[in-house]
Structure 1
Amino acid sequence: MNLFSDIRALVLDMLDQMTQAGDLPEGLDFANVAVEPPRDAAHGDMATNAAMVLAKPAKMKPRDIAEKLAEKLAADPRITSAEVAGPGFLNLRLDPSLWQGIVKTALTDGTTYGRSVLGQGKKVNVEFVSANPTGPMHVGHTRGAVFGDALAALLDYAGYDVTREYYINDGGAQVDVLARSAFERYREANGLEPEIAEGLYPGDYLIPVGEALKEKYGPTLLDKPEAEWLVEIRDFATEEMMAMIREDLASLGVTMDVYYSEKSLYGTGQIEAALERLENLGLIYEGVLEPPKGKLPEDWEEREQTLFKSTEYGDDVDRPVKKSDGAWTYFAPDIAYHWTKVERGFDMLIDVFGADHGGYVKRMKAAVAALSENRVPLDIKLIQLVKLYKNGEPFKMSKRAGTFVTLRDVVEQVGADVTRFHMLTRKNDAPLDFDFDKVLEQSKDNPVFYVQYANARICSVLRKAAEAGIAHDDATLAAADLSNLSHEAELNVAKKLSEWPRLVEIAARHNEPHRVAFYLYELASDFHSLWNRGNEDMSLRFLQDDDEAASQAKIALARAVAVVISAGLGILGVTPVEEMR
């Protein structure tokens, strides 16, 4: 049940009636007519922009449309008042029975309340994390992992068929560096002094890899030239790193459906096939690019190379796919990889990139648009940096130096639930501060605590109801006399519950799971406000002495809040707590 959709349907029905009566001209497009919460709750329960968006095409004054629409809406029993505001906005107040009905619906629907068919089963590929397999995941990857996993869960909740995918960057020079670094740890395991030259990975995380190599090969590789051991150690070390990364992700509650190897694209004809498709579309040519302004990118050459006409699909410049020496650029396998996604039948693609990949957005979107002939949309979400603080001081990390803060470090210090929730307390493209002290603070300023505390309070209400012998299973509560919920503070909580299905669809349309975290904080705030008012007004307490009917209605409201909190936390990958410790 989406009450906002129901009232919008009522508005559209009234507009149709006005059209049939000649109060509006024929042929108006109602697609942009919206019904949403008013900016100021004092103005009403819902507001519609119908008169504002229809005035110009109707060649009428907004207030004339609004006044006629208000008259028709006011005749519906669900609407207690319809008031025209300003130039033509229409504020609506709804009968309290609708808000009481939301409580019943949440309890009746349970875990399906708020679920949507928006996605209509369309296949969506969400590719996220995709860290180079050269070491454990650091805190910079953590935010992308949480965002991608929560986004996938949100889209699933909104009716999409979602695949979580990790792209293993095992085809570039960095895995050769990994192999050489692991070989030094192998030498160390054999009693020799490792020579960690400039450019190698110095982290201690490679020591176990060196020991594993010794266990497998003994000292047999020590005197062999690099050409004889590089490929074998590269494959071995890459697999060890991927096992570590899988464990890191598991500690955060993230499980991938697909791990796709970049290396599998080489020597299999897949890169050639993707570029051949672009060539058949007239989008590949030989040419020389103008030198870019500022710092020259790695893939720029002042000589003829094979180029993709990405400018035909919104890019700033055409992009090289093959260098003058015949080697592929970094872009070529990425094109081929995304072509495999299109060929696998996905209806929509989402890539989650680090903020340093901002320059890659236009070219990648151009490639997918060209490959799919504009059939498959690609949305790219950039994840801004996380700044760590501890004891009030910045907490530095340096992956090169081997002293970086790992994902596992963060999870072990504050837990997966706190980590996940806090990583979603800002929009993905905004910087995020992660203070190890504040994320564990028990205060209203800590969103994860505030939401969990609301759920714990509700669980305490249910325990006390059981002690008092009050029936409080969901079926009994849904059948309670909910007209007992009549106070403004109680109805405010029910109104916030009504926004949940709408919020899910908005968040899914924009691929923004942080909206769920924001909503849960607002819902918890309304619930805590009601709880605190009960300290002064006995009639607002959830258990009413000697009045089981009133108690059940109030418990029903609390339980409905818990249903939505549980659903929202489920999307975020956070477990609701029943007691605060």
Structure 2
Amino acid sequence: MNLFTDLRGVVVDALGQMAQAGELPAGLDYANVAVEPPRDPAHGDMATNAAMVLAKPAGMKPREIADRLAARLTDDRIAAAEVAGPGFLNLRLSPSVWRGVIAAALRGGSDFGRSAIGADQKVNVEFVSANPTGPMHVGHVRGAVFGDALANLLSFSGHDVTREYYINDGGAQVDVLARSAYERYREANGLEPAIREGLYPGDYLIPVGEALKAKYGTSLLDRPEADWLAEIREFATEAMLAEIRRDLAALGVRMDLYSSEKALYGTGRIEAAIAQLEGAGLIYRGVLEPPKGKLPEDWEAREQLLFRSSEFGDDVDRPIQKSDGAWTYFAPDIAYHWDKIDRGFDQLIDVFGADHGGYVKRMNAAVKALSNGRVPLDIKLIQLVKLFKNGEPFKMSKRAGTFVTLRDVVDEAGADVTRFIMLTRKNDATLDFDFAKVLEQSKDNPVWYVQYASARIHSVLRRATQAGIDVSDKALLAADLAKISHPAELDLARKVAEWPRLVEHAARAHEPHRVAFFLYEIASELHSLWNRGNDDATLRFVQDGDSATTQAKIALARAVGVVISSGLAILGVTPAEEMR
């Protein structure tokens, strides 16, 4: 039930009637006609821009259209249609509409607000995709939470979603991992490790070295690198991937698929993807201009194999093969995305760190070229997280060597708190995470404030049950909701009505942070009504000696609880039943 979509249908039908009656030109496009909450609640329950967007194509004054449209809005749900300003049309709805929303939320339960806008489109959400060279750090936390919440949101809005992790195990960094693990293997055998510059210094490789000793004993000591590099690389990579999986599990993130970059090499997949582009005339040999800021003496012009990415909106064409014949980093990424297109996905989403900003245009160009523009790619960049504790910068992890790990954050704050707070800013804005503030019990802490609302709803249900009042969904659906009449109660029901619309807007924009914002808003409405009950006993959810009124008021609280539970589920957070 999306009340805003329903009322938009009423408006569009009225516009069609106006066109049939000759009050509007025939053939107008109503695509930009919207029905939304007004900026100022005092102006009504909903507002439509119909007159404003149709005035120019209709060759009419907006107010003239608005006046005629208002006269045709005779739907029983619309109590009044008022023209304002140059031609905005504000709608006031009957209180019965908001009571109907309460009933709809109770009937829908966890499906209330669920949408079909995705139409079962297959969407691939690739996120995290950290190099398997060490434990995940705090930057990965935010990307993991964002990607997982976005996947939840898209599933809730009717998409067929695959969560995918792309293992960057094809580059030189895994050789560095192998050499670092070998030094820890030597250490496990009683030798001094040579953790020279360029190797990974963290203590996390000590268990890997011990595991290598358990498997190989001393047989690899004093052997040339060529004898052990490939084997230790595979062993250490698998050990790091196992740790990454454990870290993701601690955060409540699961992947549907792990894909390997290394698996693209030697299989012909890279060559096939490049041949696909070459067949379209998009591959050529050429020499690039010097990068901006490079002096002539710093630049050596070399002929390379280039992709005509500039034909698809990129700034310059991009090299896919070096002059020595080796593939650039871009080539396997092209092959990987071609593989995703080949698997039949209708939409691709990549979640990258902020340092990948320069990769956006070239990757979009490749996907456009490979899919002939059929498959859209949306690359979401995740900005940095700044960690604090009591206002002071949070220090690095000794175990990791150079950074704070994902496990540090989860162990300190808990998975639920971590996930919610990571979604309290839009992905492209820097986020401050203070361990003291995210655990404090105050209105300024959004996760606590939302969880407190959830706990209050459960406490009301417990109190009513203890008083012998039936608060099952069946009983609440049979309650006399006409007893919900106070403006503050109807305001809370209005907020419940916004949930389905919010889901659709957040899903279309690929912005799960909107869910976190909305949960804070509806929690604020609930707390406001609760606090009013301290002064006005008639607003309390449990009315002593009046089970009928209590059931109606608890139906409202349960409707709010339905929304909070669904919203938290999208964020990957467990609703609180009581506060400790």
The alpha-carbon deviation at position 294 of structure 1 amounts to 2.5
Describe the superposition over 1:300-357 as per-residue Cα deviations: whole angstroms up to 9, x where unpaired.
Answer: 9621100000011110000000001100000000000000000000000000000000
* Other structure's SS at 1:260 match: strand
Q: Which residue of 1 aligns with 2:20?
A: 20
Superposition pairs of residues 374-393 of structure 1, within 5 angstroms: 374-393=373-392
State the alpha-carbon separation in 2 of the partners of residues 197 and 519 from structure 1: 50
Describe the superposition over 1:58-79 as per-residue Cα deviations: whole angstroms up to 9, x where unpaired.
Answer: 0000000011111111x32211
One-letter code of the match for 2:215?
K
The alpha-carbon deviation at position 86 of structure 1 amounts to 1.1
Q: Which residue of 1 aligns with 2:127?
A: 128
Q: Which residue of 2 aligns with 1:564?
A: 563
Describe the superposition over 1:128-161 as per-residue Cα deviations: whole angstroms up to 9, x where unpaired.
Answer: 0000000000111100000000000000000000
Q: Which residue of 1 aligns with 2:196?
A: 197
Conserved in 1, the CA contact under 8 Å of 2:118 and 2:158?
yes
Conserved in 2, the CA contact under 8 Å of 1:183 and 1:233?
yes
State the alpha-carbon separation in 1 of the partners of residues 96 and 279 from structure 2: 62
* Other structure's SS at 2:568 match: helix
Which moved further from structure 2: 484-493 or 390-399?
A: 390-399
State the alpha-carbon separation in 2 of the partners of residues 521 and 327 from structure 1: 52
The alpha-carbon deviation at position 397 of structure 1 amounts to 3.7
Q: Which residue of 2 aligns with 1:31?
A: 31
The alpha-carbon deviation at position 276 of structure 1 amounts to 0.1
Q: Which residue of 2 aligns with 1:308?
A: 307
1:265 aligns with 2:274: no
TM-score (structure 2 length as normaliser)? 0.98
* Other structure's SS at 1:499 match: helix
The alpha-carbon deviation at position 401 of structure 1 amounts to 7.5
The alpha-carbon deviation at position 396 of structure 1 amounts to 4.2
Superposition pairs of residues 490-501 of structure 1, within 5 angstroms: 490-501=489-500
The alpha-carbon deviation at position 507 of structure 1 amounts to 0.4
State the alpha-carbon separation in 2 of the partners of residues 205 and 65 from structure 1: 69
One-letter code of the match for 1:431?
T
State the alpha-carbon separation in 1 of the partners of residues 301 and 456 from structure 2: 67
State the alpha-carbon separation in 2 of the partners of residues 528 and 142 from structure 1: 31
Q: Which residue of 1 aligns with 2:511?
A: 512
Describe the superposition over 1:415-447 as per-residue Cα deviations: whole angstroms up to 9, x where unpaired.
Answer: 100000000000000000000000001000000
One-letter code of the match for 1:410?
V
Q: Which residue of 1 aligns with 2:404?
A: 405
State the alpha-carbon separation in 1 of the partners of residues 194 and 441 from structure 2: 48
State the alpha-carbon separation in 2 of the partners of residues 58 and 295 from structure 1: 56
Conserved in 1, the CA contact under 8 Å of 2:203 and 2:398?
no
What is the Cα-based RMSD across aligned positions, in Å?
A: 1.2
Conserved in 2, the CA contact under 8 Å of 1:289 and 1:301?
no
Conserved in 1, the CA contact under 8 Å of 2:186 and 2:209?
yes
* Other structure's SS at 1:376 match: coil
Q: Which residue of 2 aligns with 1:92?
A: 91
State the alpha-carbon separation in 2 of the partners of residues 262 and 301 from structure 1: 30
One-letter code of the match for 1:516?
V
Superposition pairs of residues 331-480 of structure 1, within 5 angstroms: 331-397=330-396, 402-480=401-479
Conserved in 2, the CA contact under 8 Å of 1:104 and 1:479?
no
The alpha-carbon deviation at position 403 of structure 1 amounts to 3.8
One-letter code of the match for 2:524?
S
Q: Which residue of 2 aligns with 1:160?
A: 159
State the alpha-carbon separation in 1 of the partners of residues 398 and 182 from structure 2: 19
Superposition pairs of residues 132-143 of structure 1, within 5 angstroms: 132-143=131-142
State the alpha-carbon separation in 2 of the partners of residues 500 and 324 from structure 1: 55
* Other structure's SS at 2:120 match: coil
Describe the superposition over 1:486-535 as per-residue Cα deviations: whole angstroms up to 9, x where unpaired.
Answer: 11100011000001000000000010000000000000000000000001
TM-score (structure 1 length as normaliser)? 0.98
Conserved in 1, the CA contact under 8 Å of 2:250 and 2:410?
yes
State the alpha-carbon separation in 2 of the partners of residues 518 and 374 from structure 1: 34
The alpha-carbon deviation at position 465 of structure 1 amounts to 0.6
Q: Which residue of 2 aligns with 1:5?
A: 5
One-letter code of the match for 1:186?
Y
Conserved in 1, the CA contact under 8 Å of 2:397 and 2:408?
no
Describe the superposition over 1:17-37 as per-residue Cα deviations: whole angstroms up to 9, x where unpaired.
Answer: 000010000110000000000
1:531 aligns with 2:517: no
State the alpha-carbon separation in 1 of the partners of residues 336 and 546 from structure 2: 65
State the alpha-carbon separation in 2 of the partners of residues 422 and 475 from structure 1: 35
One-letter code of the match for 2:566?
A
* Other structure's SS at 1:579 match: coil
* Other structure's SS at 1:31 match: coil
State the alpha-carbon separation in 2 of the partners of residues 217 and 15 from structure 1: 79
Q: Which residue of 2 aligns with 1:217?
A: 216
Conserved in 2, the CA contact under 8 Å of 1:115 and 1:158?
yes
The alpha-carbon deviation at position 476 of structure 1 amounts to 1.1
The alpha-carbon deviation at position 399 of structure 1 amounts to 9.6
Task: Give 4+ residue runs of structure 1 displaced > 4 Å after superposition.
Answer: 398-401
One-letter code of the match for 1:395?
F
Note the residue ranges of structure 2 that are not aligned, 5 or more in a row. none
Conserved in 2, the CA contact under 8 Å of 1:201 and 1:400?
no
* Other structure's SS at 1:223 match: coil
Conserved in 1, the CA contact under 8 Å of 2:419 and 2:573?
yes
Superposition pairs of residues 64-83 of structure 1, within 5 angstroms: 64-73=64-73, 75-83=74-82
* Other structure's SS at 2:535 match: coil
State the alpha-carbon separation in 2 of the partners of residues 395 and 51 from structure 1: 54
* Other structure's SS at 2:544 match: coil
- How many residues align? The count is 577
State the alpha-carbon separation in 1 of the partners of residues 216 and 451 from structure 2: 51
Q: Which residue of 1 aligns with 2:110?
A: 111
Conserved in 1, the CA contact under 8 Å of 2:134 and 2:400?
no
Q: Which residue of 2 aligns with 1:330?
A: 329
State the alpha-carbon separation in 1 of the partners of residues 491 and 265 from structure 2: 59
* Other structure's SS at 1:124 match: strand
Q: Which residue of 2 aligns with 1:63?
A: 63
Seen in structure 2, the aligned counterparts of structure 1 residues 558 and 383 have a Cα distance that, compared at 3 Å, is same
Conserved in 2, the CA contact under 8 Å of 1:119 and 1:155?
yes
Q: Which residue of 2 aligns with 1:208?
A: 207
* Other structure's SS at 1:534 match: helix
Superposition pairs of residues 283-302 of structure 1, within 5 angstroms: 283-294=282-293, 302=301
Conserved in 1, the CA contact under 8 Å of 2:132 and 2:167?
yes
* Other structure's SS at 1:205 match: helix
State the alpha-carbon separation in 2 of the partners of residues 27 and 265 from structure 1: 52
Conserved in 1, the CA contact under 8 Å of 2:397 and 2:405?
no
Q: Which residue of 1 aligns with 2:187?
A: 188
State the alpha-carbon separation in 1 of the partners of residues 247 and 85 from structure 2: 55
* Other structure's SS at 1:152 match: helix
The alpha-carbon deviation at position 391 of structure 1 amounts to 2.3
Conserved in 1, the CA contact under 8 Å of 2:203 and 2:400?
no
State the alpha-carbon separation in 2 of the partners of residues 179 and 81 from structure 1: 72
1:580 aligns with 2:575: no
Note the residue ranges of structure 1 that are not aligned, 5 or more in a row. none
State the alpha-carbon separation in 1 of the partners of residues 117 and 26 from structure 2: 29
The alpha-carbon deviation at position 544 of structure 1 amounts to 1.1
State the alpha-carbon separation in 2 of the partners of residues 545 and 182 from structure 1: 69
State the alpha-carbon separation in 2 of the partners of residues 81 and 509 from structure 1: 31
Seen in structure 2, the aligned counterparts of structure 1 residues 461 and 398 have a Cα distance that, compared at 3 Å, is closer
The alpha-carbon deviation at position 545 of structure 1 amounts to 1.9
Conserved in 1, the CA contact under 8 Å of 2:483 and 2:552?
yes
The alpha-carbon deviation at position 547 of structure 1 amounts to 1.5
* Other structure's SS at 1:535 match: helix
